[in-house]
Amino acid sequence: MEHLQVSEAQRVILESVVALGAEPVKLEQSLGRVLAEDIYANRDIPPYDVSAMDGYAVQSANLAKAPVSLDIIEDIKAGDMPAKTVQSGQCARIMTGAPLPQGADAVIRVEDTQPLSESKVQINLAVKPGNDVRLRGEGMRNGDVVLTAGTGITPGVIGVLATVKCAQVQAIRRPRVAILSTGNELEDINDPVDPDKIPDSNSYALMAQVQALGIEPQLLGIARDDPAELEEYLLRGLKFDVLLVSGGTSVGVHDYVRPVIESLGVQMKFWRVAMKPGHPVAFGVKSSTKAVEADAVQGARSAATQAYLADRQGSEHRATQQCAASTAFVFGLPGNPVSSMVCFEEFVAPALRRMMGHARLYRRTITARLTHNIKHQPGRTEFIRVVLAREGDGYAAASTGAQGSGMLLSMARADGLMVVPAGSTGLASGEQVTVQLLDGTVFQDDVGFRE
Amino acid sequence: MEHLQVSEAQRVILESVVALGAEPVKLEQSLGRVLAEDIYANRDIPPYDVSAMDGYAVQSANLAKAPVSLDIIEDIKAGDMPAKTVQSGQCARIMTGAPLPQGADAVIRVEDTQPLSESKVQINLAVKPGNDVRLRGEGMRNGDVVLTAGTGITPGVIGVLATVKCAQVQAIRRPRVAILSTGNELEDINDPVDPDKIPDSNSYALMAQVQALGIEPQLLGIARDDPAELEEYLLRGLKFDVLLVSGGTSVGVHDYVRPVIESLGVQMKFWRVAMKPGHPVAFGVKSSTKAVEADAVQGARSAATQAYLADRQGSEHRATQQCAASTAFVFGLPGNPVSSMVCFEEFVAPALRRMMGHARLYRRTITARLTHNIKHQPGRTEFIRVVLAREGDGYAAASTGAQGSGMLLSMARADGLMVVPAGSTGLASGEQVTVQLLDGTVFQDDVGFRE
């Protein structure tokens, strides 16, 4: 039985999945999606030379012998257009964002001035032309591409989209994801507590991992160890873009789940990965000859999007891409809660991210100092749950304790997954190790910088 | 006019805001929230000693002279209860998660065995008692506190909550946030393009920043520079827990917005912070004498939650906490889009995180190597938009280019905000600098580790 390396398994998966089609999305619902069209500036920003500060619009040549006294000829607020031209010896009171009046070539901020009367101000310093002036088109220039297809939609991107007044954008659609747990031993969250059973935590942990990627998955429930029931559940799941099946993929039940899955037309690409926890992990593809949805979606794509997708994914994937939307991908995840979660992070998350059109597929990694020794027998890549602590300029990583694959609490406490290379014969306290950051680590306790 | 340091301003804000009250939340909607109650295990996990592998349950004492041949007396699947006792010379075929039968004290994984017949198997190695057995209660023990109030709800935590069958939990409620833009120069996203106006991007960038924290804000629109209109908008905004007002807080319009805000009972704590971009940033509190909602929420809190909140926030905040829910916090943010976004990250996000009950309030920071010189005049803490690139074990940081406060594109492109300390006289290429990671950096391009 072949065990793939983690990287080989990731390659197999990512060669199979491609970005899905585009759909129109309201700006309010676009955060975390990926642009499927190039975005153009529809005007110059700022639309004219404007003041970058509250102060006075001046002729810089007047200030050579500062301090100098100037006559105030006008008040210009943001939203106003200046009515007068600033002549030598004159200035205009001006607000941030307000248009620079004719004749003026610089702005002096109010802090560097002194009022002399209602109509006179003393300017205390000399400046060069252009001082505290934002030039027309400095932010963006009418007609320029300001965002390209493939850009992940962050708050900053939403700011830019609002600037060019995209109340709606073409974005890659989100994969539809179904989650199925299998096993006679499992107890549904709504069942009464039966001390002889095992609560189904995988459905919910996987649900939350999918939600964390911005996708609302469908929970199919628990399929019992019965071929007919399993087939019925799998058939429902295969109508989604991605089906996550936890449990039922270990050696003992192979003969049970595998033939059912394969009888439904799923081509299994692998069943084993040399990793700990979680080596019984499987991946399969059910291709459909009907590419109805894909065609419809394809038709909705702009030429720019199609060029972008073709370019990003390479010609070898173009055929797959044509029917991507009618293809179902099946991940067989371990029944053990921690193993299931780790496999999701390593294999499912990158696949879902790619389907959403993202270029950044993998969890952010940082380097940290290991605070204790780690035993490891060469063979499998190990993912150890760690907590991180700030330490000088960097981080220290410490195991969350018992790393048994049933220890879900250790996952709940973890800041990250430390990677022990497959070939390692153990890691020593003080070594620099690589840690993949998990969900709870976007924010930290302390501000983390000195002023 | 006093300019606070960034850290002083953060302190003023975080001394004012406290965690809000608790509310029942369905597990499916709990991701990103914070637990407001301690969670107890309601059974042992696993409920009995179980096999950690697919294989054979054996008496370890039988294997001293391995390879040995054993009689298979039973098949035990997960969800089955064993019917027989394993005697010397016997074993039971067992699946991962299935209960260990009486008499057996270890499991041999199937890979270390050889089938001899339907009822006989050869075991190829000797093991110690407990080998590949997960002991009853190893994962969690009935009655133990497994999660404490104040825990951020990550996918791992949701797995634990499902394990103890919390289909609903008490979680700190989310603050209600309103967003208001001000200024005659602003053009609404649905207005036709007027080249003399400035599109209102702040409402949407702030919306997305709030959404990224898991809160759906309310956009109030654009208030024109008219005291009556401004008052009307502010009155609506002050009914929310938090009101973000962008624009209208710079020096020139002080006399305009400030008296309106203050006339509505908002006590302004500061108007100026020594930072770049974004120093015209203000913070105020409108306390209400009516603590109606707070009382109702308080009543719904468990004793454990109240103790937790009191403990975490210290006795000096208890009085505030009692009416937290009826207090409105007002942030006056700069009109410049980049300044507004940076101020949100430094001041608003930590406040909203605290109101949601989080202990981790600040953006994750990493250390990176600066790739070029940075000029800086001592005085203000500067936040420079940078892109990050992996470099050996760490990261290199490079400015996104022009850092003018109107350059929203530079924010859209940024991976993080590099902090230049207020006292710095410039940073040199090669220096280690601190970078706050922004939203788009939870994932990265490459897997980031070697197997």
Nearest to B341 among A156, A193, A439 (CB): A156
Q: Distance, in angstroms, between B286 CA and closest chain A CA?
A: 26
CA distance A142 to A136: 10
The residue of chain A nearest to residue B349, with distances taken between CA atoms, is A443
Between the alpha carbon of residue A360 and those of residues A151, A351, A364, B390, B444, the distances in Å are 10, 11, 9, 13, 4
- What are residue B384's DSSP bridge partners? B418
Closest to B19 (Cα-Cα) out of B341, B289, B350, B240: B350
Q: Return the residue of B nearest to A414 by Cα.
A: B156
Q: Which residue has the higher pLDDT, B426 or B403?
A: B426
Q: How far is A169 from chain B (nearest CA, A)?
A: 13
Q: Choosing among A75, A77, A96, which should be mutated to test the B contact, i.e. which has the most B CBs within 10 A?
A: A96
Q: Stretch B212-220: mean pLDDT, rounded? A: 98
Q: Is B201–A159 a contact, with Cβ atoms under 8 angstroms apart?
A: yes
CB within 8 Å: B161 and A204: yes
**Contact indicator for A51, A94 with CB cutoff of 8 Å:** yes
> Is residue B325 helix, strand or coil?
helix
How many Cβ atoms sit within 10 Å of the Cβ of residue B167?
A: 13
Spatial distance between the Cα atoms of A292 and A239, rounded to a whole number of angstroms:
13
Residues of A within 8 A of B183 (CB-CB) are 78-79, 97
**Cα A154 → chain centroid:** 8
Range in A404-413, B31-40, B248-257 with the lowest mean pLDDT = B248-257
CA A139 to the chain's CA centroid: 25
Q: Under 8 Å CB-to-CB from A188, ≥6 apart: which residues? A: A200, A221, A222
The pLDDT tens digits for A121-178 are 999 999 999 999 999 988 889 999 999 999 999 999 999 999 999 999 999 999 999 9
| Nearest one of B71, B106, B77 to B89, comparing CA atoms | B71
A172: β partners? A22
Q: What angle do CA B235, B240, B244 make, to 5 degrees?
A: 80
* Amino acid, single-letter form, for residue A211: Q
Q: What is the 3-state secondary structure (H, E, C) of B27-40?
A: HHHCCCCEECCCEE
* Confidence at B104, pLDDT banded by 50, 70, 90: very high
Cβ distance B31 to A211 less than 8 Å, yes or no, reads: yes
C-beta separation of B44 from B141 below 8 A: yes
Q: What is the pLDDT of residue A54?
A: 87
HEC string of chain A equals CCCECHHHHHHHHHHHCCCCCEEEEEHHHCCCCEECCCEECCCCECCCCEECCCEEEECHHHHCCCCEEEEEEEEECCCCCCCCCCCCCEEEEECCCCECCCCCCEEEEHHHEEEEECCEEEECCCCCCCCCEECCCCCECCCCEEECCCCECCHHHHHHHHHCCCCEEEEECCCCEEEEEECCCEECCCCCCCCCCEECCHHHHHHHHHHHCCCCCEEEEEECCCHHHHHHHHHHHCCCCEEEEECCCCHHHHHHHHHHHHHCCCEEEECCECEECCCCCEEEEECCCCCHHHHHHHHHCCHHHHHHHHHHHCHHHHHHHHCHHHCEEEEEECCCHHHHHHHHHHHHHHHHHHHCCCCCCEECEEEEEECCCECCCCCCEEEEEEEEEEECCEEEEEECCCCCCCCHHHHHHCCEEEEECCCCCCECCCCEEEEEECHHHCEECCCCCCC
Which run of H or E residues covers position B397? strand B394-399
Across the interface, whether the CB atoms of A199 and B165 are under 8 A apart is answered: yes
**Helices B155-163 and A202-212, packing angle to 10 deg:** 160
pLDDT at B111 over 50: yes
Residue type for position A366:
I
- What is the residue-wise DSSP string for B202-269? HHHHHHHHHHHTT---EEEEEE-S-HHHHHHHHHHHTTSSEEEEESS-SGGGHHHHHHHHHHTT-EEE
Q: Which of A293-307, B132-146, B338-352 has the lowest mean pLDDT?
A: A293-307
B315 — pLDDT class (breaks 50, 70, 90):
very low
Report how far apart, in Å, the C-alpha atoms of B432 and of each of A196, B369, B410 are: 56, 5, 22
In the numeric block, which tokens belong to residue A435? Answer: 């840690």
As a dihedral over the C-alpha atoms of residue B404, residue B409, residue B412, residue B413, rounded to 10 degrees, the angle is -90
In the three-class reduction of DSSP (H, G, I as helix; E, B as strand; rest coil), residue B141 is classed as: coil
Q: Which of B186, B216, B447 to mutate to test the interface with A (most CBs of A within 10 A)?
A: B447
Confidence of residue A415 (pLDDT cuts 50, 70, 90): very high
* DSSP-derived 3-state class of residue B420: strand
Tally of residues, chain A = 451
- Which one of B26, B33, B96, B200 would you mutate to disrupt binding with A, by most A Cβ within 10 Å of its Cβ? B96
Q: Are A64 and A126 in contact (CB under 8 A)?
A: yes
pLDDT given at position A388 = 95
Over residues A32-49, the pLDDT tens digits come to: 999 999 999 999 988 899
A79 contacts B225? CB cut-off 8 A: yes
Residue type, A409: L
* Segment B396-423 mean pLDDT: 88
The pTM for the full model equals: 0.88
CA dihedral B29, B34, B36, B41 (to 10 degrees): 80
d(CA A162, CA A149): 16
Evaluated on CA atoms B248, B252, B256, B259, the torsion sign reads positive
Cα dihedral A184/A187/A191/A194 (nearest 10): 90
Q: Which residues of A touch B163 (CB under 8 A)?
A: 199, 201, 337, 408
How deeply is A372 buried, as exposed, middle or buried, from its count of CB atoms within 10 A (0-12, 13-18, 19+)? exposed
Stretch B29-46: mean pLDDT, rounded? 95
Residue B267 CA: distances (Å) to CA of B5, B94, B247, B316: 20, 69, 19, 19
- Name the residue among A111, A132, A135, A134 with its Cα closest to residue A123: A111
3-state secondary structure of B321: helix
Instruction: Tell me whether the omega of the peptide bond preceding residue B46 falls within 30 degrees of 0, making it cis.
Output: yes
Cβ contacts of A165 on chain B, cutoff 8 Å: 187, 189, 193, 199
Q: How many CA atoms lie within 13 A of B393 on its CB side?
A: 10
- CA distances in angstroms from B265 to A105, B232, B319, B327, listed in the order given: 42, 14, 19, 11
Residue A451 in this model has a pLDDT that exceeds 90:
no
Quick one: average pLDDT of A16-36?
97
Q: Do B405 and A198 touch (CB under 8 A)?
A: no
Calculate the CA A115 to chain-centre distance: 51
Q: Is the pLDDT of residue A230 over 70?
A: yes
Cβ distance A79 to B393 less than 8 Å, yes or no, reads no
Query: Across all residues in chain B, what is the average pLDDT?
Result: 88
Contacts across the A-B interface (CB distance below 8 Å) = 379
Other CB atoms within 10 Å distance of the CB of residue A287: 16
H or E stretch including B93?
A: strand B90-94
Query: What is the spatial distance between Cα B199 and Cα A42, in angstroms, rounded to a whole number?
Result: 11
Alpha-carbon span B239 to B178, nearest angstrom = 9
**pLDDT tens by residue, A285-320:** 999 754 444 444 444 444 545 555 555 444 334 334
CB pair distance less than 8 Å for B189 and A162: yes
Residues β-bridged to residue B45: B140
pLDDT band for position B77 (50/70/90)? confident
Model-level ipTM above the cut of 0.90 = no
Q: Report the pLDDT value the prediction gives residue B403, as an integer from 0 to 100.
A: 67
For B319, list phi and psi in degrees, rounded to 5.
Answer: -60, -45
The percent helix, strand, coil of chain B (3-state, each to 5) is 25, 30, 40
Element (H, E) at B338: helix B337-343
- Gap between the Cα atoms of A127 and A91, Å rounded: 14
Please list the alpha-helical segments (H only) found in B145-201: 155-163
Give the span between the Cα atoms of B35 and B32, in whole angstroms.
10
Per-residue pLDDT at B404 exceeds 80 = no
Show Cβ contacts of residue B363 under 8 Å, excluding neighbours closer than 6 positions: A442, A443, A444, A448, B345, B349, B417, B436, B437, B438
Chain centre to alpha carbon of residue A251 = 35
Q: What is residue B292's predicted lDDT score, i.e. its pLDDT? A: 41
The Cβ of residue A72 has, within 10 Å, a number of other Cβ atoms equal to 17
